[in-house]
Structures are given as C-alpha cells and as structure tokens.
C-alpha cells in the first residue's frame, strides 16, 4: 500500500475514501472538459457534490486534486493490466494481451489520459518524479514481456529497451488523432487491430542487427 501523500483534516478513513472518490469523479468531469487551469475549485466541489469548505477538508490545495486523480487512474490501469495478462503462459500471447489491454484502456479513458499528459506540466518537480516512476513501472512490464517473447534469440538490448519505451505510448497517438481516425475508419476496432499489427511488426526490429541509415547519410 502506498501512504496517503495528500493531507486531510478528516480522521474517518472510510469517509476519506468515499469523499475522495466523489472528488475524483467530479474533477475528471471538470478537468477533461476545461483543463486544469480553467477549472475552478468551486466547480469541482459542486460536481463532486461537496461545498467549498468540505472539499478543502479532504485536500490541501487545488494541485492535490491532480494527484488523487492521477493516483486513481494509474491504480485502475495497473489493476486492469494485471487481470488482462493473468494466467496467460505463452509469451507471444501474453505480449499481445498486454498490448491489446493497453490499447483498450487508453481508448476507454482517452479524455482523462489526455488530461494527464497535458497537465503533467502543472505538477511540481517532486510530484513529476513520482509520476514518472509510475510510468517506469509500466515500461518495465513491457520490457519484461518483450524479453520473454524473444527469449533464446539474440536480441539487441538497446532496441529492446527502446521498444519498451515506445510500446505503451503508441496507443496515445490514437487519442491525439481520434477525430481524424473516427472519420476514416469503420470502427475503432479496426484501428486497434491495425496498430497491433504495426507494433508487432515493428518489434521484429529487435532481434535483427540491421541499420537503417549509414552514418554518412546523416548531417
């Protein structure tokens, strides 16, 4: 369990959890609609079904709201990912399941994920560090999955790590381009299938020793 980083004036732990969930739900609505800076604490309180004063009994500053939202989202994503790959033994299938889960999760939570990427700038240095550490967990999972996938083969270590860095983010591009993609594709399922194929092909660059460019071609 992680410690409660965000300070509160309330003692009743169960109440804290309940009110925080209200705050998270309210904040996600308001933040995804207007972004962090254009959202007022008053609006968030209202959407959470709390009064101003009551809200501030459960957080210490507006910034704290980003944190509890972030904590919530990343916890949900981690849990869903665990479930998605639980019990799958075959490395190839395990990797596919993870990629597919990631695609779906990003798609399902598009708005809040976009919000988090955009507002990571609103986080102070220390918080940003925590956030990046969380992402690192995620990336290490993909690193592990790739390593097992290519077990026994002669892989280029650097490429494997790079792929692990790329993989979890590629679905995010889908959210950046969602309006364009929706117009062009019959269904988002098709899009996800296409991304999966692209990625699965892409990782085939890991075991090879090929070089796309010769050094003298670059400036």
Partner DNA sequence: TATGAATGAGTCTTCATTCAT
Partner DNA sequence: GATGAATGAAGACTCATTCAT
| Interface residues toward its own copies, by CB under 8 A | 35, 37-38, 96, 100, 114, 117-122, 132, 136, 139, 158-159, 161-163, 165-166, 169-170, 172-173, 176-177, 179-181, 184-185, 189-191, 193-205, 208, 210-213, 218
| Dist CA 27 CA 31 (whole Å) | 6
| Strand, helix or coil for residue 12 | coil
Q: Which is nearer to its own copies, 6 or 170 (CB)?
A: 170
Question: Is 109 one of the binding residues for DNA (CB under 7 A)?
Answer: no
State in Å, rounded, how far the first CA of the chain is from the last one: 50
Closest CB 84 distance from its own copies, rounded Å: 10
Q: Which is nearer to DNA, 61 or 82 (CB)?
A: 61
Q: If contact means CB under 5 to 8 A according to the sort of partner, which of DNA, its own copies, none does residue 86 touch?
A: none
Closest CB 110 distance from DNA, rounded Å: 24
Q: Which is nearer to DNA, 39 or 109 (CB)?
A: 39
Question: Is 42 one of the binding residues for DNA (CB under 7 A)?
Answer: yes
Number of neighbouring beta carbons within 10 Å of residue 154? 8
Q: Which residues bind DNA (CB under 7 A)?
A: 9-12, 15, 19, 38-42, 50-54, 56-57, 60-63
């Amino acid at each position: 369990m992680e410690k409660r980083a965000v300070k509160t004036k309330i003692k009743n732990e169960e109440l804290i959890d309940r009110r925080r969930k209200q705050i998270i739900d309210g904040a996600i609505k308001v933040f995804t609609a207007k972004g962090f800076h254009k959202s007022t604490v008053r609006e968030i309180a209202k959407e959470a079904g709390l009064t101003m004063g009551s809200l501030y009994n459960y957080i210490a500053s507006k910034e704290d709201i980003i944190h509890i939202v972030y904590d919530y989202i990343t916890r949900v994503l981690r849990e869903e990912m665990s479930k998605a790959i639980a019990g799958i033994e075959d490395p190839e299938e395990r990797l596919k399941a993870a990629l597919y889960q990631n695609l779906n999760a990003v798609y399902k939570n598009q708005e809040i994920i976009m919000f988090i990427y955009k507002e990571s700038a609103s986080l102070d240095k220390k918080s940003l560090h925590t956030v990046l550490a969380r992402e690192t967990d995620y990336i290490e999972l993909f690193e592990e999955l790739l390593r097992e996938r290519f077990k026994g083969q002669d892989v280029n270590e650097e490429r494997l790590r790079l792929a692990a860095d790329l993989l979890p983010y590629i679905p995010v591009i889908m959210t950046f381009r969602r309006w364009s993609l929706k117009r062009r594709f019959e269904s988002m399922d098709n899009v996800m299938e296409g991304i999966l194929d692209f990625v699965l092909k892409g990782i085939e660059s890991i075991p090879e020793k090929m070089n796309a460019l010769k050094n003298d071609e670059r400036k």
